[in-house]
A and B are shown apart, each in its own frame.
Chain A
Amino acid sequence: MDELLAKSKQQDEVNKYFIFSVNGIDFSTEIDRVTEIITKPLISPVPNAKNFCKGIINLRGTIIPVIDMREKLQFSSTEYDERTCVIVMTIQEQLIGVIVDEVREVTDIAPEKLFDSPASSMRSGMGKNYTSKIANLEGGRVIQILDIEKVFDVKVQE
């Protein structure tokens, strides 16, 4: 997966999206937000953690928090298996690890294939729309482009 990531970064990054699946649904974010993928992560738990936070991991000397995307999107939690991995993303200049069910692929999505999300897409418990756009690909495949910043709501402190 890392070679795929590396190769795709060398080319023009404008329309490339990183696709992963959670609870059987394909989600996606812009490729330049993803810095790496960790398989078999060693997660250390922290106390008083909210349900979506599984703990912290050591990324070559830097400590980053690990968030379970399932729980963040309010699906039921599940057992981790060998396909579970941590996607390291840059959100508001912070590195955050995100656990997903499966990493799918990196692909080009031309702007014409993107549409505004209808009312039925992912919403937070309070109705906040987490999806910025919907992509309609060949074969009727639908991918939700997540507004990652909204999902994680990283507060930038002064």
Chain B
Amino acid sequence: MAKILIVDDAAFMRISIKNMLKNSDHEVVGEAENGKVAIEQYKALSPDIVTMDITMPEMDGLEALKRIIDLNPAAKVIMVSAMGQETMVREAVMSGAKGFIVKPFKEDGILSAIDKLA
């Protein structure tokens, strides 16, 4: 149902999430490996939902989140974080992220989050 943009600097994570969504009826329409590319992709693809890693080179997820919300205040962004990133997650939530998921997670976790927003 929903068009998803996956943002993470690790190919492993991008493929993991893509795999987890394989059997759902959501469609991964694009991937980005840093915040800068994420914004370009967001503009180009207009995805329904974005999964956004926090730590990335060039531009991190927090900055990219803010700019995407600037572009579209209704944008639905799910932050993907690790334990120990409480401060950044908090700022993300305060800046308009619809929620977050903490690594490690399994298929049902990411699916429940996306299903809810879709």
Contact between A and B in the complex (any CB pair below 8 Å): no
Spell out B's residues near A (CB within 8 Å). Answer: none
Spell out A's residues near B (CB within 8 Å). Answer: none
